Each structure stands twice: as C-alpha cells, then as structure tokens.
Structure 1
Amino acid sequence: MLDLPPSPSPSSLGAPGARADLSRLIAAISQASADDRMPQAFSSEQWEVLTGYLLPVQLAAGQVLFAQGSSDRTLYLIESGSLSVHYEDSKQRLRLAIVGAGSLVGEGAFFSHRPRSATVQAAAPSVLWALPALRHVELGNRQPAVALNMAMAAGAVLARRLGDRRRRIAAT
C-alpha cells in the first residue's frame, strides 16, 4: 500500500457559520479553460447564499485530500493549485488526471453514495472549498434552487469526465 501524507485535519477547515469570501473561487471558475471546468451556474445572489455553506480547505503540496475507498461524500471546488487524481490496484498506482482551479473533485461519491474511487492529493499548494453532503442537504431544504444548481454543475463536470474516455479523466 502506498504511504501517503495525512488528510486535512479539522483545523484546516473553516469554522461552521463563518462567512466565506468566494471572490477568488468565482474568478477561477470564470477564467478556467479546462474541459472539466465547473460551469458558471450561479448568480451573484446565489454565490452569496453559498458563502454560508462552503468551508475553506488549504492543502500543502503532497497532502492527501481523500483516499481511495474512503466513504466521505464531500464535494470540493478548487480555487487555486492543482490536484493529482490516482487509482491504485494490487499491481500499481495509475495517475488518472491533474485537476486545476475552476473545477471540482469528489463528484462521484457525492452522487453515488459509494466509497471514493480514487485518491486525490495536492500536486501543488491548493485552496479548495468543501461542501459536505449534509450541508448540501441543508442547502436544499433552505435554498432548493441553489442546491439544484450545485448538483447540476457537479453533474455537468461528471458527465464531461465520463464522456472523455480517450483521456480517462477520473470521476472521484
């Protein structure tokens, strides 16, 4: 088994209820050009709503965000940096993708309720925004249109990744 640095600790996550400044995340999404970028699905008012639900996460280069097989369903939006997505079987470790700013990771487990299909590790220092599944449920109860837009945006990324079999972009 591969020896990986520890996953982010709760101290690297924002305090519940803290107001987030999503301006750099919004800019990263609007400037992203990768095939698997997150669509610009939110109005400024909807981004304001999301500030109460997203939690900041900072990763050092080499730090694992989540490991293959873990059961967490958190969705992560990438503000800056890059993440390496890799799969490990009994014979080898295979890099599936490098995912950059303006995209997201964690969409596979978010939708499927299944364990993570790959390990995601920071390839460079990175800033992310986490949307835990329970916060998404709460968002859906309070602001259903915003929760639906988030699910549709994550679904669009998932569809692009699954549809690009030539490049084998991972759905995590």
Structure 2
Amino acid sequence: MSSAIQALCRAVTHNTSYDAFAPALNAQQWDLLGEYMQGFDLPAGHVLISQGAQDRTLFFIESGTLSVHLAGSKGQMQLAILNPGAVVGEGSFFSRLPRSANVVAIGAARVWRLTPVRFAEMSNRQPNLALEIVIALGGVIAKRMVDRLKRVAVT
C-alpha cells in the first residue's frame, strides 16, 4: 500500500463509531482509491463545508476533528463531532442538494477529497471499487438516518 493513503486506511479501519465508513477494501484497492483523491491539511477554524453551498465533494478524515453545525436565526447548533476515519459530505454527494450544514476543523486536521468528477472517472475505470465506496457510503447514511440527532447532520 502506498504511504500516502496508509494513514487514511488506518483511520478508517480504527473508526469504531456507530456510523463508521467501513468499505471492504484490500491494500491494492486502497491504493487505487488514493489515486482518485487528494489529501490536504486544514488549519484550526477552517470551514470545510459551508451550509447552502452547491458542492458534491466527499471528504474523508485522516486526522483531527471536525464539527458539524447548523446556522439558524438563533445562532449555531452543533449537530455532530467527526473523528478520524469518518466521512462527511455524503448527503449532497447523493442528493445534489445544497449543503445542509457547516463543517469546521476544530483543530488542525488532514482530510482527503473525492470530487464528483473523480468519482465518475473511478466509476468508469474501476467499477467494483466505486460500487464498494457507494455501498459503504449508503451504510453511513442509513445509520445516520436512524439516529434522530444525526439525521440532520447528513451533509
């Protein structure tokens, strides 16, 4: 497995949260997935996702913690805290609707981005890999929808 994607793979594997992103990927598939994504660092306080934005990018957390919160007329309400190995942006990825919440780095973080264009390329070139990612994302959404509090945190 390439060194670039190893830390994300470890974070996903060690994520034991109820709504964990849990694809069944081998080392070669992780390497392939890494070819379609871009890793980058977020400073503390950086807004990764803006509520209302028209963007379908998926983000996978390698390290650090992100806060999901809803901005309203009475201020902000925190909906969820996402830790390493979690995914965010899945709601807009599937629905094509505007982002439903803000996502901000609580401290320094490292995330990986998978854009819709790169996912489409993966779907054409690596359909089995793309299918496994979609199934794992569907699992995340299904679990978040069962939990009334997390339901609103589907971004």
1:80 paired residue among 43, 46, 63: 63
Aligned to 1:27: 10
1:54 alignment partner AA: M
* C-alpha contact 1:20 1:54 (8 A) present in aligned 2: no
Aligned partners of 2:96, 2:12: CA distance in 1, in Å? 26
**Deviation per residue, 1:8-53 (Å, 9 max, x gap):** xxxxxxxxxxx87110011111111111211142111211211210
Structure 1 contact 85–119 (Cα < 8 Å) conserved: yes
Q: 1:49 to 1:69 in 2, by over 3 A?
A: same
Q: Structure 2: how far apart are the matches of 1:143 and 1:68? A: 32
Residue 130 (str. 1) matches residue 90 (str. 2)? no
1:58 aligns with 2:41: yes
Aligned: 1:153 with 2:136 = yes
The corresponding residue for 1:12 is none
- Aligned 1:79-98 pairs, distance under 5 A: 79-98=62-81
8 Å CA contact 2:11, 2:63 repeated in 1: yes
Conserved 8 A contact 1:97-1:168:
no
Give the TM-score normalised by the residue count of structure 1.
Answer: 0.85
- Change in Cα spacing, 1:157 to 1:167, as seen in structure 2 (3 Å) is closer
Normalised to the residue count of structure 2, the TM-score between the two structures is 0.94
Give how far 1:63 is off.
0.5
Alignment of 1:113-124 (within 5 A): 113-124=96-107
Cα drift, residue 90 of structure 1: 2.0
Question: What 5-or-longer segments of structure 1 have no aligned partner?
Answer: 1-18
RMSD over equivalenced CA pairs, Å: 1.5
Residues 103-112 or 30-39, more deviating: 30-39
Q: Which has the higher helix share?
A: 2
Cα pair distance change 1:169/1:24, threshold 3 Å? farther
Q: Deviations over 1:63-118 (max 9, x none)?
A: 00010000110000110101000011222211100011011000000000010000
Task: Specify the code of the residue in structure 2 equivalent to 1:121.
Answer: V
1:106 counterpart letter in structure 2: G
Equivalenced residues, count: 154
Q: Distance in 2 between matches of 1:56 and 1:162?
A: 28
Percent identity between the two aligned chains: 43
**Alignment partners' CA distance in 2, 1:20 and 1:44:** 11
Q: Which amino acid aligns with 2:117?
A: L
Corresponding residue SS for 1:127: strand
